[in-house]
Amino acid sequence: MKHLLTIAGSDSSGGAGIQADLKTFAAHGTFGMSAITAVTAQNTCGVTLIQDITPEMITAQIDAVFSDIHVDAVKIGMISRSPSIRAIAEGLRKWKPGIVVLDPVMVSKSGFQLLQQEACQTLIQELLPLATLVTPNLPEAEAICGFPITSEKDMVAAAKRIVELGAKAVMVKGSRLIDSQSNDYLYNGVQGIWLSSTRIETKNTHGTGCTLSSALAANLAKGLSIEEAAKASKSYVTKAIAHSITLGKGCGPTHHFVDLYEKSGLLKS
Which backbone phi and psi does 254 adopt, to 5 degrees? -75, 165
pLDDT along the chain (269 residues), means of 10: 98 97 98 97 93 98 98 96 97 98 83 80 96 96 93 95 97 79 92 92 93 98 98 96 94 95 84
**Looking at residue 201, what is its pLDDT?**
87
Beta-carbon count within 10 A of 90 CB: 15
- Pick the catalytic residue: 2, 75, 173, 234? 173
- Pick the catalytic residue: 122, 135, 205, 211? 205
Q: Which CATH architecture has domain 3-260?
A: 3-Layer(aba) Sandwich (3.40)
Our separate counts of H helices and E strands in the chain read: 9, 9
**Looking at residue 182, what is its pLDDT?**
82
**Looking at residue 113, what is its pLDDT?**
76
The answer to whether residue 205 is catalytic is yes
The answer to whether residue 9 is catalytic is no
Beta-carbon count within 10 A of 50 CB: 20
**Looking at residue 157, what is its pLDDT?**
97
- Pick the catalytic residue: 2, 207, 252, 254? 207
**Looking at residue 198, what is its pLDDT?**
85
What contacts 19, CB < 8 A, 6 or more positions away?
A: 10, 11
**Looking at residue 109, what is its pLDDT?**
66
**Looking at residue 180, what is its pLDDT?**
66
The answer to whether residue 14 is catalytic is no
- Pick the catalytic residue: 6, 135, 208, 254? 208
The answer to whether residue 207 is catalytic is yes
- Pick the catalytic residue: 9, 15, 209, 252? 209
- Pick the catalytic residue: 6, 37, 44, 210? 210
The answer to whether residue 44 is catalytic is no
Domain boundaries, the chain: 3-260
The answer to whether residue 250 is catalytic is no
**Looking at residue 268, what is its pLDDT?**
74
Element (DSSP H or E) covering residue 183: strand 181-187
